[in-house]
Amino acid sequence: MIEGAIERIHLAFESGAYDIDTYKERLRKAREDINNLDEEVRVLKRKASNQDAISNKERIEIINDFLERVENEKTEMELNKLYKKVIHGMLSVHIITL
């Protein structure tokens, strides 16, 4: 799509629709837009990568908390709360990383 924009700029210049100054300006603007979009993609990939790392860390913390507390809980109600916390935590983190 973006390469198509540059190709259309070249074709317009070759057909005489643009003078040299207009051609250079439109080409410069198209390349600037491409660079900006490439940078946005890099930033989003970096953010997604960081979210995955955080999500895995959260998973480990939830599991460790569960393992520490499950042996100490005596009532079924407290055990039920712990199990729900683990299930909810794993599902929530999984949904975020999709």
Kindly give the confidence (pLDDT) of every residue in the chain, 98 residues in length, as a single tens digit, with 9 standing for 90 and above.
667 888 999 999 999 999 999 999 999 999 998 888 889 888 888 777 665 555 777 778 878 888 888 788 778 888 888 888 778 766 654 444 44
pTM over 0.75: no
Q: Determine contact, residues 12/23, Cβ cutoff 8 Å.
A: yes
CA atoms of 73 and 47, how far apart (whole Å): 38
Answer for the pair 88, 82: CB distance below 8 angstroms, yes or no: no
- In angstroms, how far is CA 32 from the centroid of its own chain? 22
Rounded to whole angstroms, how far apart are CA atoms 96 and 98?
Answer: 6
- pLDDT (0 to 100) of residue 25: 95
Confirm if 79 and 73 have CB atoms less than 8 A apart. Answer: yes
